[in-house]
């Protein structure tokens, strides 16, 4: 496997930050809207250009995201920054359009069990909901991203058959959706599983842009990123400081960490346009906001060539 992009004409990778949606949604205590906006604005200042900022889901389902409209109002928008919001149905799409989102995201689980747990409906009904709201997005010239949850494995059913992915992607494609995200909801992806799924989708849908969304539940999230890069994927979703975890899936833990992902990409010769040092500052701010340590590693260790002085360093004795 080639680990450098130095000889590649396409060295630019889009990092989509999902922490304020996928990460904050599992927090028990409500995070003030102003604090959420401050995190997003700081990330924009650090060079992040793509966000899944919030979700226009029912406040009863996820109280932490009940402030979606207010949050969108507080974000300091800048040219070139894409603010995406997750929408579950037509009502959510109407609210998202009113909030002037740049992209709407929908998701359908690849297994019936997870679809029932996560959306309280079967796959066919979930796809029908997508069909209802896509025309609303089109009316406002807002592109739609179609996500597939448990794309690499389901905690209730085991391996996800490739045919299940193709079935959902087929429906997305028929509805005019050209952005596809594969979600590793509980960190069940491994390099061979990723390669098999991505290859099948690339062969079927040459006109769809594919993004990958990994969790680091079993410690191989960044290894899966490397497989995606070798297969030509140029968008990855991650969460600041490693926040996250699906509240409706047993064993789910945090997403791959944004600053760790950016470090990997930077060291492998890819370009993100993100200032890694400033990104690490935001990660530490998020730790302070939540009042606990988070999984991110680069924010603790620093970059590879960070240098220290001997003054005050512990020394071996004897």
Question: Which residues are designated catalytic?
Answer: 246
What is the residue whose two structure tokens read 């966000």?
51
Residue 15 in contact with residue 261, Cβ under 8 Å? yes
Which pair of tokens denotes residue 126? 């979930």
Alpha carbon distance 109, 181 (integer Å): 12
Burial 230-250 (b: 16+ CB within 10 A, else e): eeebbbbbbbbbbbbbbebbe
Facing residues of 41 across strands? Answer: none
Q: Residue 83: helix, strand or coil by DSSP?
A: strand
DSSP-derived secondary structure letter, 46: T
Question: Closest by alpha carbon to 153, among 164, 142, 143, 145?
Answer: 164
Which pair of tokens denotes residue 259? 């600053």
């Amino acid at each position: 496997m080639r680990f450098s992009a130095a000889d590649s004409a396409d060295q630019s990778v889009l990092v989509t930050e999902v922490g304020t949606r996928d990460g904050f949604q599992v927090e028990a205590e409500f995070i003030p809207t102003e604090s959420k906006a401050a995190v997003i604005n700081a990330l924009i200042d650090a060079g992040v250009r793509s966000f899944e900022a919030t979700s226009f889901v029912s406040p009863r389902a996820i109280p932490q995201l009940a402030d979606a409209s207010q949050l969108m109002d507080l974000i300091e928008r800048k040219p070139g920054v894409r603010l995406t919001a997750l929408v579950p149905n037509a009502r959510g799409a109407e609210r998202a359009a009113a909030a002037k989102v740049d992209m709407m995201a929908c998701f359908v689980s690849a297994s019936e069990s997870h679809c029932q747990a996560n959306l309280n409906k079967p796959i066919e009904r979930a796809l029908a909901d997508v069909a209802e709201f896509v025309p609303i997005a089109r009316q406002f010239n807002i592109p739609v991203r179609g996500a597939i949850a448990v794309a690499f494995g389901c905690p209730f059913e085991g391996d996800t058959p490739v045919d299940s992915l193709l079935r959902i992607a087929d429906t997305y494609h028929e509805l005019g959706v050209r952005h596809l995200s594969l979600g590793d909801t509980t960190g069940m992806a491994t390099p061979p599983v990723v390669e098999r799924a991505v290859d099948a989708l690339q062969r079927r849908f040459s006109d769809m842009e594919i993004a990958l969304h990994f969790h680091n539940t079993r410690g191989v999230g960044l290894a899966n990123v490397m497989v995606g890069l070798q297969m030509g994927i140029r968008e990855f979703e991650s969460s600041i400081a490693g926040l996250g975890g699906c509240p409706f899936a047993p064993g789910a833990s945090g997403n791959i960490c944004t600053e760790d992902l950016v470090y990997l990409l930077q060291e492998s010769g890819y370009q993100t346009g993100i200032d890694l040092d400033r990104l690490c500052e935001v990660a530490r701010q998020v730790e302070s906001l939540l009042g606990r340590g988070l999984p991110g590693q680069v924010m603790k260790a620093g970059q590879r060539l960070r240098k220290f002085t001997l003054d005050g360093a512990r020394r071996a004795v004897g």
